[in-house]
Amino acid sequence: MFIGHFGVALAGKRLAPKTSLATLIVGAQFLDLLWPVFLLLGMEHVRLVPGITKVQAFDFYDYPFSHSLSMAVGWSVAYGLIYYLVRHYPRGSWVVGSLVLSHWVLDFLVHRPDLPLWPGGPKYGLGLWNSWPASISIEVFFFAAGIWLYVSATRSRDRVGQFAFWGLMMLLFLG
């Protein structure tokens, strides 16, 4: 799941209107922001295996600290708690914490069975990355729904804000 995570972050604005879009995006991408750090520290591992899925060639064979369900729950609580301690906005803290956990749920849809429930535990994934049409359809659905929810919940202050928002959406979609 790539742009689908951004879609969920955009949708979060409707639930937590006082929370910045940047904070929502970081929440939805939090596990993927941790992953390269753990990879560089040698705590997690990946290898390139052409053809492992039809969409991407990475074999995520060992990433228990960033992408296991139990750790995702822990990271979710930590991110939500830190947000609460800084902003004192309970609704926002629940939303940003939930966005962290949503990452695992969305990855579960597209990953092959490589997402551990806990470090060293059984691995799951529905494997939509084995189908270009299915994986692209779900990505675009989540992204489009997120944009719709965001646009229906917010208003740009001026034309610069409109151009910046739509420029970011195009960058994410085409990137």
Chain segment 18-77, per-residue pLDDT in tens: 999 999 999 999 999 999 999 999 999 999 999 999 999 999 999 999 999 999 999 999
Nearest CA-CA partner of 101 in 10, 12, 25, 27: 27
Task: Say what the pLDDT of residue 76 is.
Answer: 98
Task: Say what the pLDDT of residue 115 is.
Answer: 98
Task: Say what the pLDDT of residue 1 is.
Answer: 64
Whole-angstrom Cα distance, residue 171 to residue 156? Answer: 18
Pairing of strands 58-62, 115-116: unpaired
126: exposed, middle or buried (Cβ count in 10 Å: 0-12, 13-18, 19+)? middle
**Residues 6 or more apart in contact with residue 146 via CB below 8 angstroms:** 6, 7, 8, 9, 10, 11
Task: Say what the pLDDT of residue 168 is.
Answer: 96
User: Rounded to the nearest 5 degrees, what angle is found at the Cα of 27, between the Cα atoms of 9 and 94?
Assistant: 90
Whole-angstrom Cα distance, residue 168 to residue 41? Answer: 31
**Which range among 30-34, 65-69, 119-123, 171-175 shows the weakest confidence by mean pLDDT?**
171-175
State pLDDT tens for residues 140-150. Answer: 999 999 999 99
Task: Say what the pLDDT of residue 2 is.
Answer: 87
Task: Say what the pLDDT of residue 175 is.
Answer: 83
Pairing of strands 123-124, 115-116: antiparallel
Task: Say what the pLDDT of residue 105 is.
Answer: 98
* Mean pLDDT to the nearest integer, 92-103: 98
State pLDDT tens for residues 125-169. Answer: 999 999 999 999 999 999 999 999 999 999 888 999 999 999 999
